[in-house]
Chains A and B, each alone.
Chain A
Amino acid sequence: MQYLVSVIDHRTNSGTPEEAIAIDAFNDRLRAGGHWVFAAGLADPSTATVIDGRGDEPVFTDGPFIESKEHMAGLWIIEAPDLDVALSLMADGSKACNRRLEVRPLLGPED
């Protein structure tokens, strides 16, 4: 199964050099274990643009689609056989990036 792991934060660009080193080491472990699919940090929510292309002309709106105190500051997509493996891996991921994480399954081909 694949899981989306969101990094929860209330600040942006708040990562420290120590955290970056820890995250790199953690990512190496994900790759070595065959769990790595993708990872990235995200720019500030204020840089987001909402698109609605359902009408005749696409409508573009400034800003994130949800205003909230906390936001998604980065993400992983990982491969894991079940939730226990995903949780146990990402408990270390949370330690590495020093943030809370949300783990959510991606819909598989048979869903």
Chain B
Amino acid sequence: MVASLAKRFGDLDLAEESAAEAFATAVERWPADGVPPNPGAWLTTTANRKAIDRIRREHKRVDKHREALMLTDHDPPAPVGVIDDDRLRLIFTCCHPALAMEARVALTLRLVGGLTVPQIAEGFLVQERTMAQRITRAKGKIAAAGIPYRVPSARDLPDRITGVLAVLFLVFNEGYLATGPDTDPVRADLTAEAIRLTRLIRELLPGDGEVTGLLALMLLTEARRPARVSATGELVPLAEQDRRLWDAALIEEGHRLVRERLDSGAAPGRYQLLAAINAVHTDAWDARDTDWSQVVALYDQLQRVDASPIVALNRAIAVGEVEGPDAALTAVDRLRDPLDGYHAFHATRAELLRRLGRREEARTGYERAIELAGNTAERAHLTRRRDGLGSSGRE
């Protein structure tokens, strides 16, 4: 509803406030007057009237002609398809590349996801006022700079979808590996919201492989959440998770989506490959059954579309499972330059050194990783690993 109002009046604040007023009126009246036969249309009509009232109130001296135009625009309530289009436009506007990434995330959660400002502020550990200002500033830029409510042209669409998916992936990851000293290690509200929005985009763009890929990736990651943090608040690594706790329904859906992409025969992008890797992991109900050579092959493919050192690090871990820790350590050590400030680099290295029996070097690695890790459960896990080194005997 906010989307279609925004399109009609070209003003996000107005759209949001009128929609809120319409809901408030409904809450007031429906219990007494009964629910109208078509509640959706009732709300839309009411919100439209509220918007026009607002325009009247706020622009008393506005040109009568302009107002008259607005009033005689008797659009029938929009059919579902058009509302979907409006929503899609709104998503592309919220994720516009001319906005800062943090503003895109905030706007998307606020306007597309319908989260409140306090909820978003809590999700990202910033003050409510800061978050409100961030949103106001972004809306101001949309209006003043002429950022359009439009699905991008075919030429720009792939890039812009990538931008939308990046926003959703960021929301998901912040929920999945929450940072901050005193927060829950996993914030399920954020992961759930990211999945809900990705589902919505998949409904709107069912043919886009990367949208499907990202949804599959999120589902297969979310499926492991119940096994991911121990009762004592420690992160449990994939190999040690109690796989019976995994959510079988989510895994089943994720696998179906991955198969759908494989059957399409189209060259997979980054999210589809990450989803495929997660499908291999979740295919093994015992960690020992993991098809690691398949994982390495998928990382090889991923490196061709995403040459980031983080992909190389994850590939090295898989190599360690196939060829042993020596080969993996050689590959990991080559990544020191770009990844020296990244906790997972030191944690991976420490893990390999531990397996090779190089305890003192492993200890240094764990300590560096603990220093750099932002997630409480991850830190607890690394600390236990480090302390485990000590008790198993220093010569």
- State the A residues within 8 Å of B (CB): 1, 80-84, 86-88, 104-105, 111
- Binary per-residue interface labels of chain B (77-110) against chain A in the complex, 1 for a CB within 8 Å, 0 otherwise: 0000000000000000000101000000000000
Which 10 A-B residue pairs are closest in the complex by CB-CB distance?
A82-B148, A82-B146, A83-B146, A1-B146, A83-B147, A105-B145, A83-B145, A84-B148, A105-B144, A105-B146
Beyond A82-B150, A86-B146, list 19 extra A-B contacts (CB 8 Å). Answer: A1-B146, A80-B146, A81-B146, A81-B148, A82-B146, A82-B147, A82-B148, A83-B145, A83-B146, A83-B147, A83-B148, A84-B147, A84-B148, A84-B156, A87-B98, A104-B145, A105-B144, A105-B146, A111-B144
Question: Which of B145, B146, B148, B150 gathers the greatest number of chain A CB atoms within 10 Å?
Answer: B146
Q: CB of B309 within 8 A of chain A?
A: no
Chain B residue with Cβ nearest A2: B146
- Binary per-residue interface labels of chain B (137-154) against chain A in the complex, 1 for a CB within 8 Å, 0 otherwise: 000000011111010100
CB-based A-B contact count at 8 angstroms: 27
Chain B residue with Cβ nearest A82: B148
Q: Which residues on B sit within 8 Å (CB–CB) of A1?
A: 146
Q: How far is the CA of A56 from the CA of B98 in the complex (A)?
A: 43
Chain B residue with Cβ nearest A105: B145
A65 to chain B, nearest CB (A): 23
A55 to chain B, nearest CB (A): 33
Chain B residue with Cβ nearest A80: B146
What is the interface residue range for chain B against chain A?
A: 10 to 19
Chain A residue with Cβ nearest B148: A82
Report 11 cross-chain contacts, Cβ distance below 8 Å, ordered by A residue. A1-B146, A80-B146, A82-B150, A83-B147, A83-B148, A84-B147, A84-B150, A84-B152, A84-B156, A105-B145, A111-B144
Q: Which residues on B sit within 8 Å (CB–CB) of A86?
A: 146
B148 pairs with A88, CB closer than 8 A = no
Question: Which of A81, A86, A87, A104 gathers the greatest number of chain B CB atoms within 10 Å?
Answer: A87
Q: How far is the CA of A84 from the CA of B159 in the complex (A)?
A: 13
Q: How far is the CA of A11 from the CA of B47 in the complex (A)?
A: 54
A83 pairs with B156, CB closer than 8 A = no
Q: Which of B96, B145, B146, B156 contacts A88 (CB 8 A)?
A: B156
Q: How far is the CA of A105 from the CA of B142 in the complex (A)?
A: 11
Chain B residue with Cβ nearest A87: B98
Q: How far is the CA of A111 from the CA of B150 in the complex (A)?
A: 22
Q: How far is the CA of A75 from the CA of B98 in the complex (A)?
A: 20
Q: How far is the CA of A88 from the CA of B98 in the complex (A)?
A: 12
- Binary per-residue interface labels of chain B (183-227) against chain A in the complex, 1 for a CB within 8 Å, 0 otherwise: 000000000000000000000000000000000000000000000
Q: Which residues on B sit within 8 Å (CB–CB) of A111?
A: 144
Q: How far is the CA of A54 from the CA of B146 in the complex (A)?
A: 34
Q: Which residues on A sit within 8 Å (CB–CB) of B150?
A: 82, 84
Chain A residue with Cβ nearest B63: A110
Q: Which residues on A sit within 8 Å (CB–CB) of B152?
A: 84
B14 to chain A, nearest CB (A): 15
Q: How far is the CA of A14 from the CA of B98 in the complex (A)?
A: 28
Q: How far is the CA of A86 from the CA of B148 in the complex (A)?
A: 11
Q: How far is the CA of A79 from the CA of B259 in the complex (A)?
A: 48
B259 to chain A, nearest CB (A): 36
